[in-house]
Amino acid sequence: QQQVKQSPQSLIVQKGGISIINCAYENTAFDYFPWYQQFPGKGPALLIAIRPDVSEKKEGRFTISFNKSAKQFSLHIMDSQPGDSATYFCAATSSSGYALNFGKGTSLLVTP
């Protein structure tokens, strides 16, 4: 049972463009939503995270948008660079449940 649904499965963006990855969840108890970046042969690394008390969080070129009523959140990568080419995972967890529930991942390719 996939608790977090992620789309698209893969994404190709030109250098300088905007990459957008979307996630949706059902469990209203979730209150922490991180995004992880994973390069081949490496473990996932935390990129940015948000809690539902805010609708947007920005760190450099990376922004999370959060829509509590729709139970959706998304990652926007501005001015995408070839070095951003990686697999991105959204995740969700609750204060009482600790386990991170991951989406299936989005493979991003940024072309020069």
Partner 1 sequence: EAGVAQSPRYKIIEKRQSVAFWCNPISGHATLYWYQQILGQGPKLLIQFQNNGVVDDSQLPKDRFSAERLKGVDSTLKIQPAKLEDSAVYLCASSWTVQETQYFGPGTRLLVL
Q: What's phi and psi for 57, nearest 5 deg?
A: -140, 135
Name the token pair of 94: 């609750």
Strand-strand pairing, 33-38 and 86-92: antiparallel
Minimum distance from CB of 100 to partner 1 (Å)? 7
Give the x-and-dash track for 65-104 against partner 1 (CB under 8 A).
------------------------x-x---x--xxx-xxx
10/78 with CB nearer partner 1: 10
- My answer on whether omega of the bond before 112 falls inside 30° of 0, hence cis, is no
43/112 with CB nearer partner 1: 43
Return d(Cα 68, Cα 60) in angstroms, integer: 23
Give the x-and-dash track for 26-65 against partner 1 (CB under 8 A).
------x-x-x----xxxxxx--x----------------
Return d(Cα 6, Cα 21) in angstroms, integer: 7
Q: Could you list the residues that contact partner 1 (CB under 8 A)?
A: 4, 6, 32, 34, 36, 41-46, 49, 89, 91, 95, 98-100, 102-105
